Amino acid sequence: MDILHVLKTHFSTISSSLLLLQDIEKVALFQQFKKETVLLKEDSYVQFIPLVVKGLVKVYKEEENGNEVLLYYIKPGESCIMSIMAAEKNVPINVKGVVEEDAEIILIPVKDIHPIRKNHNKWNAFVYELFNDKFDEVIEMIKILTFSNKQKRLEDYLKTKAKLNNSNTILKSHQQIANELGSSREVISRLLKKLEKDGKVALSQRQITIL
């Protein structure tokens, strides 16, 4: 795998600095991860900073009752701002990251992040841009969870997932959706049935298609 070429192709903010790309290439690893692989384990120290090339990674908080609070997704061309912050402060990360779709990821060892940050302004610009984007996503998720009624919340969630997946078909169980929206499976199933009756979605086993 030509890491230099992949970085140039997928990471526009840092692609203009050849020296930065070369410094990342010297220390980085390229790995493939299957769906449902735990990439970030809550209360553990970050070992690598992920740069997602392909696929999707879900970052969330897991409550004691099993419910999830979705924070954001790491999409191709992005990294995990929570991982970067935890690595910079040398503290355990307080979120969980799971591969949502089979992924290809460039991994930068944490020990090499400090010299990269010190020597390359383009890396810092990438991090600031990432922080801004993920902050906006978290605010949007708070708005959905706090101010929307349950049906509107579900519809917004399905539209967001469809956009992320670039597909009108969402491969999720009712329980998984309930966990991410902080609701119950029964409520989500009832709302999905209503959306199906209204002609907005088609339902099948662990699959929802937006019509």
CATH for 148-210 (1.10.760.10, 1.10.10.10, 3.40.50.1000, 1.10.3720.10)? 1.10.10.10
145-156 tens-digit pLDDT: 665 677 888 888
pTM of the model: 0.75
SS3 label, residue 1? coil
31-85 tens-digit pLDDT: 999 999 999 999 999 999 999 999 999 998 877 766 778 888 999 999 999 999 9
DSSP label at residue 199? T
194 vs 137: CA distance, rounded Å: 28
Ranges in the chain annotated CATH 2.60.120.10: 3-145
Per-residue model confidence (pLDDT) at position 26 = 94
81-128 tens-digit pLDDT: 999 999 999 999 999 999 988 999 999 999 999 999 999 999 999 999
DSSP string, 42-74: TTB---EEEEEEEEEEEEEEE-TTS-EEEEEEE
159 vs 154: CA distance, rounded Å: 9
Ranges in the chain annotated CATH 1.10.10.10: 148-210
Inform me whether the pLDDT recorded for 170 exceeds 80. Answer: yes
Q: Which residues contact 202 (CB under 8 A, 6 or more apart)?
A: 196, 208, 209, 211
CA distances to 116, 158, 194 from 76, rounded to whole Å, are 21, 20, 34
CATH of segment(s) 3-145: 2.60.120.10
